[in-house]
Chains A and B, each alone.
Chain A
Amino acid sequence: MLSFLTTTLVIIIGFVLITVIFVIKIYNALVVLRNRVKNAYAQIDVQLKRRYDLIPNLVETAKGYMKHESETLEAVINARNQAVSAAATASKDPTAAGAISDLAGADGALTGALGKLMVVMEAYPDLKANTNMLQVQEELTSTENRVAFSRQAYNDSVLNYNNKREMFPSNLIAGMLNFKFAQSWELDDEAARSVPKVNF
């Protein structure tokens, strides 16, 4: 009886031990992957900041030429401010629900507003030839490329994290310990179509 008890005991304990190891291993892997998502987001964040800092400059230059287009300009500024605040929320915790999709929406709206401004600008050849304007536009384009590049890296890291999060058995741990689903930054159809068009 005693040896039967002990054997049962040993088996129970062995089972618990193996479980413990697995839990810790999975937990650590999740932590690393989640942190990697955050660091990959930080890479987008610095580029977005640069992009958003360029816009007031662009609007300021345009103002001098487009006296009658204050509505278009205001739309750009508004869209920019919204994108700035969405980016600030996302940089606190990119895995928070809705943070990235809000940002993607706000950034897409900004791209749209900028696109409209460019269309309007066609009527102002002087503005189009302004050196400051050309420089800002060039920088915006190159920043847009960098954003796209870091977005790709971010989405890859999100994919890794979400896969780990959803696969058995790590999904059990992820659910228990509140590892939230991370959103990748998908371009919605409209934004996706408008990005390549921004050839100022």
Chain B
Amino acid sequence: MNFYEHQDRAQRRTKVIVCLFILAVLCITAVVAIPIGFTTEWDPVATIAASVICLLVVGIATLFKLNQLRGGGSTVAEMMGGTLLQLGGSTQTEKRIQNIVEEMAIASGMPVPPVYILEDATINAFAAGWAPSDAVIGVTRGCIEKLNRDELQGVIAHEFSHISHGDMRINIRLIGIIFGIMVLGITGWILVRFVGPMILRTSSRSRSKEGAGGAGIGLAVILFGLFLAFCGFVGTFFGRLIQAAVSRQREFLADASAVQFTRNPSGIGGALRKIGGITPLATPTSDASQCNHMFFSQAMNSMFASHPPVKERIARVEGIDVSNIESNENVASPVVGDSLASGFSEGVVLNSIKNGGVVQKIAVAKSRSVLSGISDVLLDAVREPWSARLVLFAIVVDLDQPKQDEILSKNLGKNEWSAYKKIVAHVSNASESTRLPIIDLAAPALKQLSKAQLDEFNTLLTLLIKSDGVIDRFEWVFVSVIQKHLAPPNLKNARAKLSLLSDSASLVLAMLAYYGTTERRGAELAYKSGAESCSLKQLKIPEISSCTIENLNGAIKKLQQLRFSDRERFLLACEMVVVHDEQITTTEAEVIRAIGDLLDCPIPMFG
């Protein structure tokens, strides 16, 4: 099963799970309402009130929690008290984890997730977020200090495969619903502990007749509180059971993908061994127990294991015969060097699209070499918010456009402008294949901009791209990618079919066709081959005048609603257009990866 199928399945699975939980909540409501009805001889007011309140509470609590988690991965990490790594880390171990995460993100074609450190001596890690563009990686201090590089890479690969399997979306929804049920239990506890005794106390002070009634109410409140606490507990119990059952399978899958990713079972195996050796687990915070299923190993030592037993995981991981892993590496064509002149053969790009979300070892090696090809000045600049903005301006600015320079010099401060000038020199020296990686590398720094700073940045970026009225070349793709990395995540389930969005699809294909060649005839043929491959209605290429930035942005926004299997078809059609003239330039290849990024389909680096 490939990335696209995993994503579609994850969406369907989420629906099933949500239904299961709604059923569970209805059961809990019944359990609460029936005794009340029974004791009141089915008094309609009391019975209905009890069930409505019960439903409302769980519903409201769930919605609140989900609303809070809208912020995405960073909110989850911050709720757990994670510290964001700054400037690629200050200690050696922090730098190492940052490097590993960067390498892997660049290799798989997704924005680098910000890394949060949890001050905890146990070995653990988690990934959180709705989509690759708002994912974060959390690791404990123990994890980065006790594991060696191979083991860390295994753990991070495991977390990355949670991202590409769409597990994070399910996880966040689970947190929401289980929280809703948990609130019932907490309320019960408060009734027993505070409200009931309070009523008892006040009623014992007054000796009037109402006092006796008050004592009755007090006792009833305590009894009911006990009952509610019990229901909440049982509800949470079953919630956790469902959660655990879902989660355990995903863990095996993520372990297996991690091995496929690193080609090294001893990496993740070693990490698991170390976890197994370190017992007992430290007492986790209550926040950690809510997010139990998100961790690499279990944060809670309980019978509702969200993770399979470590021993079994080790056995499975180390039992994987690496030599049998289907390898696409031999398909990688002998591309000589990494110069602008060299192209990519058809097979390489095709395979990369099909392998969306799955990273071959060769891509990691490639990403390492690309990273080492980026000058240190740029690497440092891109890791902090102030200069990362300038690097991105430098990337999207067309040096032949004096107007853009004018806009920048007007809007940047004096020092910013001189720093920008230096950065431009480095960017124009860098190979074109480093453009998307640099944008991906800048993601964690840009996410640190405050709302006001972000708005300013976005405004200037839009001003730049619109300065010449027409789009020339592929700059808009890169601008869209940057803006996508900064936009709030898309929370809707993507279900649209390609046939319904055929206008949007043909617009993007036309753009690729027009800018891939200089002659109209070539563009027409290239477009046609792409349109045919994903069976679009319109086989005649749309006019070049319709390829405006507004139209293209609108088209991409619509295509983001596509179901994942159709995203794959669309990306393959893009590839058809680009390879039509039998040569793929570095820019064209990167544009395809950028479109993949826009559609939340990380396409690994081409070999």
Interface residues of A (CB under 8 A from B): 2-3, 5-14, 16-18, 20-21, 24-25, 28-29, 31-32, 35-36, 38-40, 42-43, 45-47, 141-142, 145-146, 149-150, 152-153, 156-157
Contacts and interface: CB of A to CB of B under 8 A. Distances in A.
A37 to B, nearest CB: 10
Contacts of A32: 68, 71, 75, 78-79
Contacts of A153: 385, 448-450, 453
B87 A7 contact: no
B190 interface: yes
A31 B79 contact: yes
Contacts of B415: 141-142, 145
A7 B45 contact: yes
Contacts of A11: 49
Interface residues of B, number: 57
A17 B184 contact: yes
A145 B190 contact: no
A6 B413 CA distance: 68
Nearest to B114: A39
Contacts of A150: 385-386
A136 B415 CA distance: 15
B187 A17 contact: yes
A146 B384 contact: yes
Contact of B43 (A3, A35, A47, A149): A3
B60 A13 contact: no
B140 interface: no
B180 to A, nearest CB: 9
B61 interface: yes
Nearest to A34: B78
Contacts of B82: 35
Contacts, number: 139
A46 B216 contact: no
Chain B: interface secondary structure? helix
B283 interface: no
A149 to B, nearest CB: 4
A141 B451 CA distance: 25
Instruction: Pick the 7 closest A-B CB pairs, nearest first.
Output: A156-B450, A3-B43, A14-B53, A153-B450, A35-B78, A6-B46, A149-B386
Contacts of A8: 217
Nearest to A35: B78
A36 B187 CA distance: 29
Contacts of A31: 78-79, 81
Interface stretch (B156-164, B220-228, B479-487, B537-545): B220-228
A35 B451 contact: no
A146 B380 CA distance: 13
A16 B196 CA distance: 11
A36 B77 CA distance: 10
Given A16-B190, A42-B84, A10 B452 contact: no
Given A21-B60, A28-B79, A42-B84, A12 B195 contact: yes
B183 A2 contact: no
A93 to B, nearest CB: 12
A46 B90 contact: yes
B83 interface: yes
Greatest chain B CB density within 10 A among A2, A6, A36, A141 is at A6
